A and B are shown apart, each in its own frame.
Chain A
């Protein structure tokens, strides 16, 4: 091509994946730090505490996603509302495949823990971990594939 644009290759979707990785790490780090501390000092983590922390987790993540999407959209003007192209779809498909494996592995580990008399709060924690790790693997795989090309 004659008129080469600059080769800045960070797409809106890749930027969103970065935002979600950072958001998930912060929100999940806070969530597990508090839950594990409570879990160590009490026999069972009270259900209202779990519910409250889950709501806080979702709020932090939502705020991060909105703020991150705004910043990413401003730096990639006109790209945010574009539908996924074929490369985006391929990357999404590969990332989802890996993330589903991670989710299922942690879920099976959690289910196995049930047979070793795991507390119900630990089971809930395992399910949360499966969901969070699954999403982290999804976003990190997306970033890796976007960096690599596909």
Chain B
């Protein structure tokens, strides 16, 4: 069986043949462009620097609709541009960007299956040339927050709900509170280790094959179904800052077709820092 919504994935071989199409914008979304985009990117690919471009700088939040419009216009992306996202760290930040693009209603949107790793490994060409996009006029038609849950909503809904399933997608060591952050980001951690009471641990990477692409539908269905994360549940995924959770959100919503999946992007760096909030280890 194929994925519920197979159109959300772009294949590297298809992309190799499609580069240069005038309605296509390939965008690399990086946590650390110096180690990724600047070392070589898909020819013509634009850059979104996740920390700078996807987040507000004066409060902890994703960019608002107006800021998204400015970002898109600067990149020369129009409302009807076909956007393909990919990036560093196993596509984590590209998938987070996908979640934001969808929130602001971008229609023709795909994630490059396998990200940088797959592109490089399959002999894809890389370039260090910086494209010079012609600015466009982008207008957000409608904002849809249905894939996002904030702390106060989570608190309200968690109490007494039998259908809400919290999926902690971090590593088992983070889930158990043995470490407070992955070694790649040692200084971005919470005051306490552990997980939100009642959460189950299904690390994001369990949905991914060795080559960086997603596992087939049946395997994914088995993986989540065997842990009680079914299509009829109301699922909330979280991690440390929301980037890995967006990968699990993408799998559940678009590849498995679950109707109600949300990212709690406050994630552990919010919950694990709150005074008098319960923690399980």
Chain B binds chain A: no
Chain A contact residues, CB within 8 Å of chain B:
none
